[in-house]
């Protein structure tokens, strides 16, 4: 019987297993495990140690939860922004059968560079331009 008690004490105080885990591994009731560990003088210190560990774990879990929540909000905000842009582009492109040069420039903003001397947007010829693409668009 002494061997079983020593194993219980070792599992609880050294390996820091829970009462339920010890009861499952030893094959006895959790009430018996609790009775054995409460007789040891290290019980109060171990209880305080586990309380601190639990507090740290809750704090870490809370930080992770908030971090994940912020990340999810950022993702949702980005999705909403892209969705709004898509909606705006759909509205602009479906107003008429032909889009205006100004709308086309906004839609392809990376293809046009502003020339302040001529006060117009000029197509970047390095990209290659089809004949129906405007070479330049005057500023309004």
What the block records as the tokens of 126 is 């390095």
- Cα(102)–Cα(53) distance, rounded to whole angstroms? 63
Q: Smallest Cα–Cα separation from 40: which of 20, 12, 17?
A: 12
Share the mean pLDDT of the chain: 87
Alpha-carbon distances of 113 from 93, 110, 138, rounded to whole Å: 22, 7, 12
* Cα Rg of the chain, angstroms: 35
Q: For 7-56, how does the pLDDT look when each residue is reduced to its tens digit (9 = 90+)?
A: 999 999 999 899 999 999 999 999 999 999 999 899 999 999 999 999 99
pLDDT at 74: 94
Contacts of 101 (CB under 8 A, 6+ apart): 134, 137
- Mean pLDDT for the stretch of residues 65-84: 94
Domain boundaries, the chain: 98-140
17 or 98, higher pLDDT:
17
């Amino acid at each position: 019987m002494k061997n079983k008690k020593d194993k219980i004490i070792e599992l609880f105080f050294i390996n820091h297993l829970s009462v339920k885990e010890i009861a499952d591994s030893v094959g006895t009731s959790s009430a018996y495990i609790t009775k054995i560990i409460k007789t040891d003088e290290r019980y109060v210190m171990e209880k305080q140690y586990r309380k601190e560990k639990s507090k740290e774990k809750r704090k870490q879990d809370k930080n992770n939860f908030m971090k994940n929540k912020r990340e999810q909000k950022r993702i949702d905000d980005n999705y909403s922004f892209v969705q709004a842009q898509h909606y705006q582009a759909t509205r602009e492109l479906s107003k008429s059968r032909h889009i205006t040069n100004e709308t086309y420039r906004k839609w392809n903003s990376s293809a046009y560079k502003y020339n302040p001397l001529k006060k117009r947007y000029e197509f970047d010829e390095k990209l290659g331009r089809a004949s129906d693409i405007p070479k330049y668009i005057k500023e309004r």
